[in-house]
């Protein structure tokens, strides 16, 4: 199984390590020629969604990656990655890929509660640690299925080939989310 990890900004290296631990072959997507090869899945890491969104356009990756997602390429998107997939961002008038029918709220936990860890049940995965860093949450879904909630807020969702998480599985010991993603391919 070959997974492309978007490596423009953010914590892509941690995702690569996890994916390798789970048996996947991994390569980094940094420029247009990187996506000319065949691959089975895509990871959109956390970071800063505005920066990643801008770089996707500048590096001429945006349209090709969006088309791949629409055509059914399995995607695991975390935090900023989740914002990239959302059809609507409640507190920002930008839309990036906009391929997932949900509304997210950026930096939704405010400054003080900006980063925290907890443990919760994720449907199809189990009880897992969840690390939130200036995270969004999903304020509304309109087609995407909610897979996990923390304090009444949706923090994970799936719509067909797209899995989006508000938290950072790449920062915890547990590999269950990666096994779930790889099995879904």
Name the residue nearer to ligand GLN (CB basis): 26 or 84. Answer: 84
Give SS3 for 160: coil
Per the annotation, the verdict on 22 as an active-site residue is no
Residue 83 is a binding residue for ligand GLN (CB under 6 A): yes
Single out the segment in contact with ligand GLN by CB under 6 A; choices: 75-83, 97-105, 122-130, 150-158: 75-83
Q: Which is nearer to ligand GLN, 2 or 50 (CB)?
A: 50
Tokens of 93: 């008038």
Beta-carbon contacts of 168 under 8 Å, excluding residues fewer than 6 positions away, are 11, 14, 46, 78, 79, 131, 132, 133
Which phi and psi angles does 183 have, rounded to 5°? -65, -30
The tokens 């990036």 sit on which residue? Answer: 96
Select 4 or 46, whichever has its Cβ closest to ligand GLN: 46
Asked if 133 interacts with ligand GLN (CB under 6 A), we say yes
Among 4, 46, 74, 169, the residue binding ligand GLN under the rule CB under 6 A is: 46
- Count the site residues for ligand GLN by CB under 6 A: 11
Q: Cβ 59 to ligand GLN, closest distance in Å?
A: 18
Report how far apart, in Å, the C-alpha atoms of 119 and of each of 14, 69, 109, 111 are. 20, 29, 17, 21
As annotated, the active-site residues are 79, 168, 170
């Amino acid at each position: 199984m070959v997974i492309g990890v978007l490596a423009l900004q953010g914590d892509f290296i941690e995702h690569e390590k996890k994916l390798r631990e789970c048996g996947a072959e991994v390569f980094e997507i940094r420029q247009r020629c990187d996506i000319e090869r065949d691959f089975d899945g895509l990871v959109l890491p956390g970071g800063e969604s505005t920066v990643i969104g801008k770089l996707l356009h500048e590096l001429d990756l945006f349209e090709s990656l969006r088309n791949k997602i629409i055509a059914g390429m399995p995607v695991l998107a975390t935090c900023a990655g989740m914002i990239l997939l959302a059809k609507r961002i409640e507190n920002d008038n930008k839309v990036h890929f906009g391929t997932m029918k949900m509304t997210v709220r950026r930096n939704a936990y405010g400054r003080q509660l900006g980063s925290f860890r907890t443990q919760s049940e994720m449907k199809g995965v189990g009880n897992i640690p969840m690390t939130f860093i200036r995270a969004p949450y999903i304020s509304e879904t309109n087609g995407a299925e909610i897979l996990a909630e923390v304090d009444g807020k949706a923090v994970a969702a799936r719509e067909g080939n797209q899995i989006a998480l508000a938290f950072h599985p790449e920062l915890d010991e547990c590999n269950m989310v990666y096994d779930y993603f790889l099995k879904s391919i």
